[in-house]
Amino acid sequence: MSVFVCNCVVSQPNKIKEIKKMNTMILFFNESSMNNNFDIKFISDRLNGENIDPGLYVVATPIGNLSDITIRALSMISSSNLVLCEDTRISKKLTSKYGIKCSMHSFHRYNSKKMIKMVLPKLKSNQIISLISDSGTPTISDPGQDLIHTCIENNIKVFSIPGPSAVIGCLVSSGISTEQFSFLGFVPRDKKTKKIFHERISQSMETTIFFESPKRIIKTLSDLIIFIGDRKISLVRELTKKNEEIINGNIKNVLENLVQKDKILGEITVVISGCTSRHLTEISDQQILAFVKDLEIEKLGISTIVKLTAEKYEVSKRRVYQLIIANKR
């Protein structure tokens, strides 16, 4: 079978029939052609034949730009007996664009236990169920993990239909090391958990990725400068959407950029470089205090001493300040 991907309009229905007879699949990714001529059933049949294994399919959907959907994802959604999604209103925008008609039910953290009880018998009876999120890959800071765990416990097959992910998308465009990285989800709000969050980043040699809301991003970056120092960072806002913005630099530079904005909107992903081995092993408290003592001889103010010491050793201002206070007791 031949497959062609076109960005054009076919206005004659007879042409579609001729294409089908030729055992050729042409995909029309164009608003006008989507409305009447996009035959998702034809695509589904050609991709999967008549045999699709029953089970749960974890299907990645676009982060923002609806054109980022994969052909296999479209096929899987259209072939499902039931599609579970966070918000049916959002997911219907996707299915409507591609002319997909399917049974859809909301699945979120507030009704997950109830829905798992409802869905499990369907899966046991060999139905095909797809799990999608509002954007990106399901279960990545989204509901669904409990459902997958339940399926595995009950020997129900779970399949992954890979696709868009804000975590990977932002990482590869950041210019920061991709060899080893950690994803920490959303920044915690309570003080105790947030302290652990800061400590983990400060000591990690891996690249760190996390999500944050536009309302809290300035406070979060200000805290990071204190706890981990002024590291290399990439801040991505509204990935794949019309107002996409990527700001690269050190934390301080990015923070200054954000402060100048009248309003910060959209979903935000932050990528931070890991600390170096030098930070973890070579810089001792004694070294820092020795340099502080030299600066004190120059009769500099404490804020200047903290700033100069933090910059010299590439450590956080918080660490320097606490050492100075502790040493004076």
* 114, 18: one domain: no
Encode pLDDT of 228-259 as tens digits. 888 999 999 999 999 999 999 999 999 999 99
Q: How is residue 12 annotated by DSSP?
A: -
* 223, 129: one domain: no
* 149, 173: one domain: no
* 124, 208: one domain: no
Structure tokens at 168: 């990977």
CA pair distance 216, 250, nearest whole angstrom: 18
Strand order in the sheet with 268-272: 181-186, 207-212, 268-272, 232-237, 245-250
* 236, 269: one domain: yes
Helix axes 302-313, 285-297, angle to 10 degrees: 140
User: Which CATH number goes with the domain that contains 184?
Assistant: 3.30.950.10
Indicate the residue among 136, 164, 192 that finishes a domain.
164
215 burial type by CB count under 10 A (0-12 exposed, 13-18 middle, 19+ buried): exposed
Please list, in sequence order, all residues whose beta carbon lies within 8 angstroms of the beta carbon of residue 229, skipping any fewer than 6 positions away: 202, 310, 314, 315, 316, 317
C-beta separation of 247 from 234 below 8 A? yes
C-beta separation of 160 from 140 below 8 A? no
Cα radius of gyration rounded to whole Å, the chain: 26
Which pLDDT does position 26 carry in this prediction? Answer: 46
* 95, 191: one domain: no
* 273, 303: one domain: no
Number of domains in the chain: 4
* 304, 218: one domain: no
Indicate the residue among 140, 164, 188 that finishes a domain.
164
* 98, 180: one domain: no
Which pLDDT does position 257 carry in this prediction? Answer: 95
Which pLDDT does position 52 carry in this prediction? Answer: 86
Phi/psi of residue 154, each to 5°? -100, 20
pLDDT-flagged residues of the chain (< 70): 1-50, 277-283
User: Which CATH number goes with the domain that contains 135?
Assistant: 3.40.1010.10
CA pair distance 25, 16, nearest whole angstrom: 9
Terminal C-alpha separation, the chain: 79
* 25, 59: one domain: no
CA pair distance 178, 19, nearest whole angstrom: 43
SS (H, E, C) 21-32: HCCEEEEECCHH
Does the pTM surpass 0.85? The reply is: no
Encode pLDDT of 131-173 as tens digits. 999 999 998 877 799 999 999 999 999 999 999 999 999 999 9
Which pLDDT does position 191 carry in this prediction? Answer: 85
Which pLDDT does position 2 carry in this prediction? Answer: 40
* 158, 249: one domain: no
CA pair distance 159, 148, nearest whole angstrom: 10
- Full domain range(s) for residue 320: 283-328
Which pLDDT does position 44 carry in this prediction? Answer: 54
**Coil, helix or strand at residue 130:** strand
**Coil, helix or strand at residue 275:** coil
Indicate the residue among 108, 142, 164 that finishes a domain.
164
* 171, 154: one domain: no
